[in-house]
């Protein structure tokens, strides 16, 4: 579940970004739609507790993110937030399986090979566990990054511009995959996008509209 009230953010010297109120039930899907620079990635960073909002309130998986102290916040994020950034950040020094094991390491958990194999298999990339990220296609790399995001079965999955560099067929595949991954773990799914194809592919989905900030328009 995600709920916001009067949420807003402004970077130092940057535009003021007011966000509309939203309530997303657990297991629901929310699309953040709007042009580049309208604040979608900022909203995701607020939901992940990577930024503290300057106005309003945001409850994510039952937790007021702003109320968490710095140390608690990292633990909470590791447990509750799956994040699929636009740039996937897979380490080339590590195999696919080792990239997932980093999640356990970062969360202070013992590496769980069975869970890693299961997460990769659930997204049909189990056979690629020993490869290096450079030996994957773009679509395979996205599956691996999604498996990593879902490894600890977080209640919330945040995804930033998943289709920006994909052709039409891959775009449909990526969206199906995200919905499948979120459904498998019961996660609330948030997708930030300026891609009209996503809005067409998910017409019934709850949406939060973002508008270009005024500072950006005059810049
Ligand atoms: P979107 O994801 O919709 O493209 P962003 O959330 O990335 O939008 O950016 C919203 C606005 O905030 C833009 O004007 C952008 O330039 C600005 N912005 C983003 N990140 C920072 C930052 N770290 N410091 C200052 N301004 C930023
Ligand atoms: Mg963005």
Nearest CA to ligand 1 atom 6: 39
Domain 2-218 has CATH 3.40.50.300: yes
pLDDT at 215: 54
Give the β-pairing of 2-10 and 22-24.
Answer: antiparallel
**Residue range 34-88, pLDDT digits in tens:** 999 999 999 999 999 999 999 999 999 999 999 999 889 998 999 999 999 999 9
Render pLDDT for 102-119 as a digit per residue (tens, 0 to 9): 999 988 899 999 999 999
pTM reported for the whole predicted model: 0.94
State if residue 47 touches ligand 1 by the CB under 6 angstroms criterion. no
Task: Tell me the average pLDDT across 150-156.
Answer: 96
What pLDDT does residue 70 have?
Answer: 82
203 C-alpha to ligand 1 centroid (Å): 27
Is pLDDT at 210 greater than 50 in this prediction?
Answer: yes
Every domain of the chain and the residues it spans: 2-218
């Amino acid at each position: 579940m995600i709920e916001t009230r009067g949420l807003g953010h402004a970077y130092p010297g940057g535009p003021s970004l007011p966000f509309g109120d939203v309530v997303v039930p657990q297991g629901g899907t929310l699309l953040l739609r709007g042009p580049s620079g309208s604040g979608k990635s900022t909203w995701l960073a607020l939901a992940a507790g990577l930024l503290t909002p300057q106005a309003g309130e945001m409850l994510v998986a039952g937790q007021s993110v702003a109320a968490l102290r710095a140390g608690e916040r990292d633990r909470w994020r590791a447990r509750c937030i799956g994040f699929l950034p636009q740039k996937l950040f897979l380490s080339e020094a590590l195999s696919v399986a080792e990239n997932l094991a980093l999640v356990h390491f970062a969360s202070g958990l013992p590496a769980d090979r069975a869970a890693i194999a299961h997460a990769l298999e659930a997204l049909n990339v189990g056979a690629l566990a020993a490869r290096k990220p450079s030996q994957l296609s773009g679509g395979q790399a996205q599956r691996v990054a999604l498996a990593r995001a879902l490894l600890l079965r977080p209640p919330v999955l945040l995804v930033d511009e998943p289709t920006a560099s994909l052709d039409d067929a891959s775009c449909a595949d990526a969206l199906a995959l995200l919905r499948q991954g979120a459904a498998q773990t019961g996660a609330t799914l948030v997708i930030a996008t300026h891609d009209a194809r996503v809005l067409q592919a998910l017409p019934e989905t709850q949406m939060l509209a973002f508008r270009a900030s005024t500072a950006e328009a005059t810049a």
